Amino acid sequence: MKPAIFEQRSKQIVQKREGDEFSIACNRDSLAGAVSQRACVFCGSRVVLYPIADALHLVHGPIGCAAYTWDIRGALSSGPELHRLSFSTDLREKDVIFGGEKKLEAALLELIAQHKPNAAFVYSTCIVGIIGDDVGAICKKVSAATGIPVIPVQSEGFKGNKRAGYEAACRAMMQLVGTGDTSGISPLSINILGDFNLAGEIWIIKEYYERMGIEVVATITGDGRVGDLARCHGAALNVVQCSGATMDLAKMMQEKFGVPVIRASYFGIEDMSKALYDVARHFQDKDPGIMARTAALVKEELSVLLPRLAELRKDLEGKKAAVYVGGAFKAFSLVKCFRHLGMKVVVVGSQTGTEEDYKELAAITDEGTIIVDDSNPLELARFVKDLDVDIFVGGVKERPIAYKLGVGFCDHNHERKEALEGFVGMINFAEEVHRTVMSPVWRFTPRRRGSLQPVTALDAAACASTVSPEPAKEAAS
Amino acid sequence: MSAPTPLKRRKGGMTPIEPFVSTTNACKMCKPLGACLAFLGIEGCVPFLHGSQGCATYMRRYVISHFREPVDIASSSLGEKQAIHGGGPNLKLGLLNVMKKYGATCIGVATTCLTETIGDDVSMLLHEFRKEFGDLPLPALVHVSTPSYGGTQAEGYQAALRAVVDQLAGSEAATSQVNVLPNFVSCEDLRHLADVFDHFGLDAALLPDYSERLDGGAQEDYVKIMPGGTPVARIRTMGGARATIELGRTLDPAKSAGGLLAERFGVPLHSLGLPIGLRETDAFFDTLCTLAGRPTPRRYELARGRLVDAYVDGHKYLSGKTAVVYGEEDLVVGLCAFLAEIGITPVIAASGGESGRLSCAVKAVTDGLLRQEPEVREGVDFYEIAARARELKPDLVIGNSKGYRVLAKELGIPMLRVGFPIHDRFGAQRVQHLCYAGTQALYDSIVNTVIDKKQTDSDVGYGYI
Ligand code: SF4
Ligand code: SF4
């Protein structure tokens, strides 16, 4: 089956066949007129930087770009919550004609005076790229006047896709890295990169590492702080979570400060355990006991997790899943997670995967699985229906498609309110999958019309007979 | 563009301090979003944003979170090259794709900040497109200029409607049709309006009507374009209608669809407020009585009676309370009209919109009922609303979800969600606001919100309140 609805996209959809040379076209510009699920450069930058809770995030542009990104993700902070406010220069017609530099400067000065952030990020949106404001110069000027770092983020929406936005965000953060004091940092120390602390997930992961005896210097960017970023080059290791969003930062830090990098994923049993073991292995020369401590931790967590999973699996065995997420790395983990539930991933795709990513996906999926790059609602709906899936895993934009067609859904995107990372996250995930797949509501949807059983007809006599007549008398006799 | 009202930060009472340049926690959305919503209310119509991909994706996400329905908004997906050399080729390619793959019978093209700034002439591009592809069965193509730096979603909504009428309506023969331009109301409101006109025996052409597209039934197959919406044929005959009813007190006929129909085709225009509360609904029904030449159907007389009865039964829970009300200007006016009737003073009536007509409209609908005039704030953001609310300590927050954290939660006061967007409650499409029935529903919710607060705050555990 190859349901390429737009011919121009046919090379972006591939079905896995054992023995075939795998190739897929990806990283293309979205096709005009196809309703892409993709966002823009600005979106990528905003996602990465926004959890830095003590920074001012000023969106330089017209109001929409700021309004639609106001507190849309649940990146939690244990302290300040400046990131949850939405700041915009709210450009108007005269600014577009005469330039927005003056307004930007005034906005920065007043907001910094008002909120006293530890740094400010200034995001350029599309029209800023067109009207040609010298954002860098304004930032420099304001930085000098206020004494805090004011950092331009070159995130003009049209200059690429979300991935370009990640890069821009990393370049922006790199301006802070290396400016702080690193004294007192433990030799057994890491930075957690690429986690945004949705539903408090970074706290779960951080706690695991701390139980292993490791100091976490900076959480980047979930529950992030400007001061932590400034000194995070003092950590002994960068552990980068799958999504790739902060990989560029890790690479830059490796180049400039020699901090080694390992990758990790915190979704699912294998990947979560592997992440902890990989870090432990990295430090075992410095701390011989760390492997044993890690093993004990994993064992303890699994002793809670596995029995619960086995219970849920009983109901879920054999059900089918479709996965469409932002980054391909999350897709890897999800394929493995579903295996633990006895479920089959029949279609899997991402918005921004690379050829390498897709090759790896092809390697870990089952024969016949459809692999797709930068999909759209029409295609996704076709997959859901033709492959008769029981659950769709995706973002908030995919949810209504799944529901409309009568398919279960799990929100595995940035809007989620349940922690899905860590061992406890695996339980939450399994429970969420169970809740949606096992709900009786699907039976009433048109897709499953055939399986709808009418209620048993009312039979007054049958019900009455279950009540014993005049029990009082019986007791008396 | 008229000079924007300077935003005044106020501290310690009403002393204005330095005007604020930036916007914190906007109480508005951008203009193309409104245009997309209007286009979604036309049968077979796909909204198409001429600009870069991000805007379309963000707006879809925003609209979907409210309606919980699939919403497709196409985009010409401009990249760097097109941003420099013009987006024409992408626009045309995109239109072809939407035609072919969606089978759209209408495409509503709205510009974005990017394409307005680079100066794409969409009207000319569409003209070229029609010539180049004249051999294909072309959909109705409508375009509207919606630079978001020139207004909010409310203006975008109205601009799109005006563009639709401007570009589609003709001077057809006179029909018995009554054009109804209901403003941006909920799906349930639209259904109710359709019923009302039906019961009056009036042939209403509702524009837009997204009640089915954005609140439809479960489907067996993915329907590329959900059924429902105002048929293009009905829009074409609007010029021959016997009357237009346009709802919204802050609308300017010079910029509205109703105004255009009056100007160009001489269709008599009845400009009314949103029928929220007793008096605005009475005015609405009076107009219908005149048009239909018959009295209000009994079912609505009964509904009106129940509403007045409820006003009395619940008055003590509400009398003397205060509220902060915000959202789209026309909705704010409607809510103020209603609140004034039930003894709640809207101490702050705020909007991110800047029509310049809000103060006057609020005054018109509250005069004679309030002892304290509401403080009307145009062009404000939530930061300012919250600052003022902190001083005025209202009992209730009434508005869309965006005010939850920064107002209701922050101030610890209960909130009633109305309007758009409602992202943190279920059933946003079915919130009723209009006519006696909608007012009744709002009224019951407000009373219950007040009771709930009293009950929760008390240790007694009242079972009767
Ligand atoms: S650029 Fe303009 S149209 Fe696009 S989201 Fe921002 S404000 Fe809205
Ligand atoms: S204007 Fe540009 S930066 Fe803003 S949302 Fe649209 S594509 Fe993204």
Q: What is the pLDDT of residue B7?
A: 41
Confidence of residue A10 (pLDDT cuts 50, 70, 90): low
Q: What is the pLDDT of residue A376?
A: 73
Q: Collapsing DSSP states into helix, strand and coil, what is residue B180?
A: strand
For residue B71 the two structure tokens come to 């919403």
Q: What is the pLDDT of residue A26?
A: 59
Q: What is the pLDDT of residue B131?
A: 95
d(CA A104, CA A374) in angstroms, rounded, equals 35
Return the amino acid letter for A360.
E
Q: Count of CB atoms within 10 A of residue A298's CB?
A: 20
Given this chain, do its domains B31-168 and B316-457 carry the same CATH topology? yes
Show the domains of chain A with their CATH numbers. 41-174 (3.40.50.1980), 189-300 (3.40.50.12380), 308-476 (3.40.50.1980)
d(CA B162, CA B254) in angstroms, rounded, equals 10
Mean pLDDT for all residues in chain A: 88
Question: CATH fold of B316-457, please?
Answer: Rossmann fold (3.40.50)
CB A404 within 8 A of CB A451: no
Q: What is the pLDDT of residue A178?
A: 96
Q: What is the pLDDT of residue A18?
A: 63
For residue A377 the two structure tokens come to 């609602």
Q: What's the rounded mean pLDDT across residues A336-365? A: 86
Q: Which residue has the higher pLDDT, A4 or B400?
A: B400
CB B71 within 8 A of CB A397: no
For residue B394 the two structure tokens come to 């209202």
**Whole-number percent of chain A with pLDDT over 90:** 63
CB contact (8 A) between residue A33 and residue B114: no
CB contact (8 A) between residue B57 and residue A37: yes
Q: How far is A414 from chain B (nearest CA, A)?
A: 12
d(CA B76, CA B94) in angstroms, rounded, equals 5
State the number of CA atoms in the 13 A half-sphere of B297 facing the CB.
Answer: 13
d(CA A114, CA B337) in angstroms, rounded, equals 36
pLDDT in tens, chain B (465 residues): 344 444 444 333 343 445 678 999 999 999 999 999 999 999 999 999 999 989 999 999 899 999 999 898 999 999 888 888 899 999 999 999 999 888 999 999 999 999 999 999 999 999 999 999 999 999 999 999 999 887 899 999 999 999 999 999 997 788 999 999 999 999 999 999 999 999 999 999 999 999 999 999 998 888 889 999 999 999 999 999 999 999 999 999 999 999 999 999 999 999 999 999 999 999 999 999 999 999 999 999 999 999 999 999 999 999 999 999 999 999 999 999 999 999 999 999 999 999 999 999 999 999 999 988 999 999 999 999 999 999 999 999 999 999 999 999 999 999 999 999 999 999 999 999 999 999 999 999 999 999 999 999 988 888 887
CB contact (8 A) between residue B148 and residue A62: yes
CATH 3.40.50.1980 assigned to B31-168: yes
Confidence of residue A8 (pLDDT cuts 50, 70, 90): low
DSSP string, B59-94: HHHHHHHHH-S----EE----HHHHHH-SHHHHHHH
Q: Which residues of B touch A37 (CB under 8 A)?
A: 57
DSSP string, A257-282: H---EEEE--SSHHHHHHHHHHHHHH
Over the range B372-408, which residues count as b (16 or more CB within 10 Å of their CB) and which as e? eebbbbbbbbbbbbbebbeeeebbbbbbbbbbbbbbb
Give pLDDT tens digits for A313-336: 999 999 999 998 877 778 888 999
Name the pTM for this structure. 0.91
Ligand nearest to the CA of B112: 1
pLDDT at A222 over 70: yes
pLDDT at A294 over 70: yes
B49 lines ligand 1 (CB under 6 A): no
pLDDT at A463 over 90: no
CA–centroid distance, residue B36 to ligand 1 (Å)? 13
CB contact (8 A) between residue A86 and residue B24: yes
A44 lines ligand 2 (CB under 6 A): no
Q: What is the pLDDT of residue B116?
A: 92
Q: What is the pLDDT of residue B17?
A: 42
DSSP B409: I
Q: Which residues of A touch B380 (CB under 8 A)?
A: none
Question: CATH fold of B178-215+226-292, please?
Answer: Rossmann fold (3.40.50)
CB B415 within 8 A of CB B398: yes
pLDDT at A424 over 80: yes
Q: Where are the domains of chain B?
A: 31-168, 178-215+226-292, 316-457
